[in-house]
Amino acid sequence: MKTNFTLMCKVSGYFVCLLLACPHLLAQAASPNEDRLEEQFLHLPNAWQLKPAELKAQSDTVTPMIRNQRNKYWQSSLAGERQLIGDLAFDEPAAQFPGATLSTAPEIPVLPMSVWVIASFDSFHVYEAPIDQVHQVIYTEMNYKVSEVINTPKSLQLAVGDKIDVAMRGGRVKHTDGTILTSRIYPAKHFVQLNHKYLLQLLYNPETQWYVLNKEWDVTSGQVTPDSEEERYRASKHQSALSGMTIPMAVQYIRNVLF
């Protein structure tokens, strides 16, 4: 899943910061174009994003204290971007499908606070963080269940069977009056799919107790399948070691690279 944001990891004690550099930040009310959304997302892997979360009906996965921390994270991120780009923060540009390129980044990057797991994408929740009386930032948390822990920082305790939240800006929410708000919902050629199993590299944020997706490969079939534009391109150039491996082979290979 290749997104148009820049990840910047800064480790200071237990802090990891994700710097988002996108101009499309604030939620917008449903527009006439949304009548065509189902057609635009037909057969695409992220069609699950079309289902609006009913804010009053869904159960939160964390305590009110942690939810407040997560809201503050997005509110602070948005405030910083508005200082940089002003009213451009209110824009929602059209989706783009950039051509595939192979970056200089390694297939198995070694990053601070990096977490490697096998996990299933079982469900998702969408939340609103109020900005003022008019605006709010919408974000999604994808809920994964861990089936194998490959590598974690020493400070993090993670076990088989644990459920983890992977954060992402954007989503759709439905209010009790029937109003649907949409933010950053775009057709994607490659994206994580509900009820699929993945090999994941995640970046952990101890303050919010969530994770950010850095890399993923689909392993639902039992073999590693590249699941992003970059990794598919790497495999097409026969430069991928992971592509086609069984799950046990991939786990051992990653451990060998990391250790």
pLDDT for the residue 35: 63
CA 226, CA 120: separation in Å to the nearest integer? Answer: 16
Strand partners, 138: 128
Place of tokens 């534009």: 229
Strand partners, 24: 90
- Prediction pTM value: 0.82
pLDDT for the residue 34: 60
Top-confidence residue, 217 or 78: 217
Contact (CB, 8 A) for 217 and 242: yes
Average pLDDT over residues 15-22: 35
Region for residue 253 given its phi and psi (left: phi exceeds 0; alpha: psi -120 to 50; beta: otherwise): alpha
Contact (CB, 8 A) for 14 and 205: no
Long-range contacts of 63-66 (CB under 8 A, 24+ apart): 66/208, 66/209
* From 16-30, 40-54, 171-185, 189-203, the region with the lowest mean pLDDT: 16-30
> What pLDDT band is residue 7 in, cutting at 50, 70 and 90?
very low
pLDDT tens digits along 96-117 = 444 445 556 899 999 988 999 9
- Closest by Cα among 83, 8, 40, 7 to 182: 40
pLDDT tens digits along 188-224 = 889 999 999 999 999 999 999 999 999 999 999 999 9
CA 183, CA 136: separation in Å to the nearest integer? Answer: 10
